Each structure stands twice: as structure tokens, then as C-alpha cells.
Chains A and B, each alone.
Chain A
């Protein structure tokens, strides 16, 4: 048998099941597909974004969904000068926890900016969505956040 006759079989380790994201997380992801943000109302009336299925402190079921964003405020940020291969942006960027307008908790995403000097806690940012045809109902429907009125 020559080398060319050696049999090969691809082995791909995977979990071939699908999962429903449910009425709360699913609503958030569906709204992303539509280019919008929704949050859930917690036990004390606070708006949780991204929404959890229960109040993170009390464990109570969350209430009605409300629309928030698309602008928001940076709560904290970290500058990545060398992105890792799976990061959402492959040019230098910032991770940030962002409290969307109307929300009381922050969400994690990437902020595109030209350098760390452009960023600050408290800075205003806005979501930049992918084109509608490319959105699938996932966090990656947001390309990144960008500084409000910024050049990036």
C-alpha cells in the first residue's frame, strides 16, 4: 500500500444539539437581529441588560421587557493592543462594560477606537450593528460599539 492509499477520516469533536434560548434571552437575541436592544425589569424595578431570566440578586422572575439603548456609557474598559485570534476585532480595541441608556446593569462588548487615549470611563458610545442581512440573533450581530460622534 502506498502513502496515497492510507485511509483518513476526519474527527470533529462537537455537541450536535440545539438549544432554545427561551423567552428572555431569546427576546434579547431576536431584538439584536432587528438592530435593537431590550432589557428585563428586575425585582426592584431595575432594568437588566443583557437580560437574565431571574433577578441576579433576589432570584425572582424578571418582569416585562423594555427597549433600551442603542447609546450607552462606558463603566470600565481595558485596552487590547494585541487582539487574540478569536476576539471580535482583529485590530487594537477596548473591551468595555457598557450601560445602555435606560439600563441599570452593564453589558460586555468591544469598542472600536484609534487608541487608549480616546477612551475614558464615562465616555458615550453607540452600537454599530452588522448589516441587517448578516444578522442572525447573536452577540456578533453587534460589530462593536463606537464612540458617539467619533471618527472610528
Chain B
């Protein structure tokens, strides 16, 4: 299978693994949770840690409540003899971007990317407040549900969506998740039933919120001969880009996502037909904003895995989108897919990755 031509070095998503996504994993620490995921991501393609030249992880100390927790997590890989390693305090999708960037330089041919997070250890509503601007916003302790509700109301007021539209997204996502053995919330509930849910923070009802999830995920990236040796049908990253908007929430138009649109443009989303898209939209209304920003019409199958509404492991939900999209191409269910990851309040930062089967 030939790799795509162009100015970027072809890099493939050679393997993907994720833990079961569950509400609370209090039997295992981070290393113990990661160990089977790392074993699976190598085992899928019959390699070991010695076959990758670089390791990059995504996690946050704020979940575990201690510094340098990513160093401890390296025990899940085993870094002896010493390995080239890096870490981002972000979702694993952004760690994947760092590894992809290093692979572009041509010095190495394979990298392991992984991410982990136990959301259950603390109160996410308080923890996520610490990502906000520390002068104007964080001192007020606005929780992520409230900030997302401000965005949802703006969307309704702008005439771009209704509460029923949010419920449609939630109903479809969790119905699709019935086919995803790793999903945390999977059920078939009709829209009119969902619309009877009470508000958590009006106008967001319970179904429009993501679950609180513990989980981990890993991907092996490969280039050159390793890409073709490790996959019968390599899944190539044909474009990847990420962009950020201002931290000043009130200076943004919350009903659109210009950073996603720009990333999608640079990643080349519109350069071909998109079969499926795995969108990291933790809150139901955000999928509507992101679809519009990436120009994905009704012909595109959105979140066949169930997306972040079915399982939202902090720091991994974005990386899982790339893995899920790649897996469907590898399985022959799609030829071209878009994966998206987000970070920050109300879709502040967004990564878009285009994947193509050879």
C-alpha cells in the first residue's frame, strides 16, 4: 500500500488500545490501569517497547493531586535503558501531535503515545476551574457545566440549535455506544423522553452532559518501513493541525469555533469525501458547533463509537477519537475519516486530524 504524497512525511496510526471506560476505577493506580493498555497496543502488532524510538504522554497532575505524575506512569512502559520521552499536560491527542511532529524530522520511525486520567479522584467541577484565567474567572469558581451551559444558551439564542437538537445528539450517541464494548453509558432512549430530564444547569439537561470516566488509551505511530510492516492496511495521517482561541471567554463567539475551522482547513478536511468523523464534544451542543466548523454534512457518520457522551476519560477522550477513527479505516469500514480533540472551556483549543486508508 502506498503512502500519500505531499510535503508531510507519511505517518500511520499503527495500533490503538483503550481501557474499559468506567465511572470509578478504585482498584488500580495509574500505572496498573495503563499496563494492560500498553501491552495491548504493542501486542496488536507484535512489537515491544524496544521497537519505538520515542514516547509521549498526555495527562494532568491536577487529577491525581501530585506533581510529576507522568513520571510515575512511565513504569507502565518500562524505560530502561533510558528512552527519549516527553509529556504534555493535555489530552493525549496533543501528545500525538508532538510525536507526529518529531516523526516529521525523519530521525525516528515509531513512537508510542498514551494518556490516562482518573476523573473519579476529585471533584471535576472544581478541578477544571483551575484551567481558567486566574484573575477574572477562576476566583469565581465557574464549573465546566455552567460555562458549557452559557455556550448552549448562546447557541439557542442565535437560532442555531434547540434543546431538542441537544437531545438528538445525546440519544444517537448513546444508542450507537451500544455497539462499543468500551463505552460507559450506552442505552437507547428516545428524544422526547430525554427532554423530560431535569436541568443540571439550565439550559443543559442531564443527558447533554458527559459521564465522569476513568480510563486510559494508547496509540503507536509509525513511519517508513515500519508503517507498512506493522499494518496490512496502513491508516495514514494525511493532515493534522491544532489552533487555540483567546482565554478571554467573553471575547469569543461561543456559537462558532473558528479555531476548529482553521485547524480543519490546514488539516485538509475538505480535500476529499469524509466517511466518518469522531468528534470530541463533551457536551451535546458542542457537536453541533464542531460539525458546522468542520463543514461535515449529513452524509458523514458522526461518532459511531458514541463519542465523549458515551465515555469521557479526562486526558484520553481526544486520543480515543483518533484511535476509533483509525480502527474503522483499518477494518475497512471507512476510507477517509476526521478525528477531533478539544481542550479548555467551551472548545477553546481544537485539534483536527484527517486519516486515510491506502
- B153 contacts the other chain (Cβ, under 8 Å)? yes
Instruction: Select one of B153, B157, B250 contacting A108, CB under 8 A.
Output: B250
A29 to B246, CA, bound (A): 20
B251 engages A48 (CB within 8 Å):
yes
Instruction: Select one of A81, A107, A121, A138 contacting B202, CB under 8 A.
Output: A81
A108 to B142, CA, bound (A): 9
A77 engages B251 (CB within 8 Å):
no
Q: List A contacts of B129 (CB < 8 A).
A: 86
A63 to B126, CA, bound (A): 35
- A84 contacts the other chain (Cβ, under 8 Å)? yes
Q: List A contacts of B147 (CB < 8 A).
A: 95
A25 to B135, CA, bound (A): 8
Interface centre among B129, B139, B204 (most CB of A within 10 A): B139
**Which of A34-51 touch B at CB < 8 Å?**
48-50
Contact A121/B157 with A75-B250, A108-B249 known, Cβ cut-off 8 Å = yes
A49 to B150, CA, bound (A): 18
B248 engages A78 (CB within 8 Å):
no
A97 engages B146 (CB within 8 Å):
no
A109 engages B135 (CB within 8 Å):
no
Q: List B contacts of A106 (CB < 8 A).
A: 249-251
- Count how many chain B residues have C-beta atoms less than 8 Å from C-beta atoms of the other chain: 31
**Which of A49-81 touch B at CB < 8 Å?**
49-50, 52, 56-57, 75-81
- A30 contacts the other chain (Cβ, under 8 Å)? no
A35 to B139, CA, bound (A): 18
Contact A86/B126 with A52-B248, A76-B154, A107-B136 known, Cβ cut-off 8 Å = yes
- B274 contacts the other chain (Cβ, under 8 Å)? no
**Chain B interface, DSSP helix/strand/loop, else mixed:** helix
- Count how many chain A residues have C-beta atoms less than 8 Å from C-beta atoms of the other chain: 36
A25 to B247, CA, bound (A): 14
CB distance from A130 to the nearest CB of B (A): 14
- B48 contacts the other chain (Cβ, under 8 Å)? no
B142 engages A95 (CB within 8 Å):
yes
Q: List A contacts of B153 (CB < 8 A).
A: 76-78, 121
Q: List A contacts of B125 (CB < 8 A).
A: 84
A78 to B205, CA, bound (A): 12
A115 to B258, CA, bound (A): 34
CB distance from A22 to the nearest CB of B (A): 10
A48 to B250, CA, bound (A): 9
A109 to B142, CA, bound (A): 9
Contact A95/B139 with A52-B248, A76-B254 known, Cβ cut-off 8 Å = no
- B201 contacts the other chain (Cβ, under 8 Å)? yes
Q: Could you name 30 residue pairs across A and B whose Cβ atoms are closer than 8 Å?
A: A50-B135, A50-B248, A50-B250, A52-B246, A52-B251, A56-B246, A75-B250, A76-B154, A78-B201, A78-B202, A79-B199, A84-B125, A84-B126, A86-B126, A86-B129, A87-B140, A88-B141, A95-B142, A95-B146, A95-B147, A95-B201, A97-B249, A97-B250, A98-B250, A99-B250, A105-B251, A107-B136, A109-B140, A138-B139, A139-B135
Q: A-contacting residues of B (Cβ < 8 Å)? A: 125-126, 129, 135-137, 139-143, 146-147, 149-154, 157, 199, 201-204, 246, 248-251, 254
Q: B-contacting residues of A (Cβ < 8 Å)? A: 21, 25, 29, 48-50, 52, 56-57, 75-81, 84, 86-88, 95-99, 105-110, 116, 121, 138-140
